[in-house]
């Protein structure tokens, strides 16, 4: 949190991504990154990955995971903002119809 106060502020009440609770979101993003990057494997497998593949060598730097998590959280906040903007669009922009032109984000009638 201290290393990326601007991203943290986006998830606090009044921030543009405040619909997501910061603590739970951090845990979920960290878990997904660990699975995606195969850090949930055994220690010897991780050591082999770090030494053999150029992509994984960057994680020898202790701050690399923090930077990756910050970027992921910031991208997630951007997605929340975009979804919020799409929901506020007038219904005729979605080609609506039915119940007063109410459609979901995919242009389908709700």
pLDDT, tens digit (0-9, with 9 covering 90-100), for 44-76: 776 777 677 677 777 778 788 888 899 999 999
Token pair for residue 60?
Answer: 């020898």
Question: Within a domain: residue 19?
Answer: yes
Question: Within a domain: residue 57?
Answer: yes
Given a contact cutoff of 8 angstroms between Cβ atoms, the answer to whether 46 and 39 are in contact is yes
| Confidence at residue 28, expressed as pLDDT on a 0 to 100 scale | 92
Residues whose CB is less than 8 angstroms from the CB of residue 71 and which lie 6 or more positions away in sequence, other chains included: none
Tens of pLDDT, residues 20-51:
988 899 899 988 988 887 776 666 776 777 67
Question: Within a domain: residue 83?
Answer: yes
Question: Within a domain: residue 108?
Answer: no
Instruction: Judge whether residue 18 has pLDDT over 70.
Output: yes
Question: Within a domain: residue 63?
Answer: yes
* Total of domains in the chain: 1
Question: Within a domain: residue 110?
Answer: no
Q: Supply φ then ψ for residue 84, to 5 degrees.
A: -65, -40
| Confidence at residue 98, expressed as pLDDT on a 0 to 100 scale | 46
Residues of the domain holding 42: 5-101
| Confidence at residue 34, expressed as pLDDT on a 0 to 100 scale | 83
Q: Which residue has the higher pLDDT, 102 or 90?
A: 90
| Confidence at residue 82, expressed as pLDDT on a 0 to 100 scale | 93
Question: Within a domain: residue 32?
Answer: yes
Question: Within a domain: residue 109?
Answer: no
């Amino acid at each position: 949190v201290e290393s990326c106060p601007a991203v943290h502020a986006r998830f606090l009440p009044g921030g543009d991504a405040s619909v997501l609770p910061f603590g739970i979101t951090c845990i979920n993003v960290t878990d997904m990154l660990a699975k995606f990057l195969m850090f949930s494997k055994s220690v010897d497998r991780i050591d082999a990955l770090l030494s053999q593949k150029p992509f994984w060598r960057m994680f020898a730097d202790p701050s690399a995971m923090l930077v990756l998590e910050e970027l992921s959280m910031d991208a997630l906040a951007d997605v929340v903002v975009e979804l919020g903007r799409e929901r506020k669009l007038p219904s005729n922009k979605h080609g609506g119809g039915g119940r007063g032109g109410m459609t979901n984000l995919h242009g389908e009638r709700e």
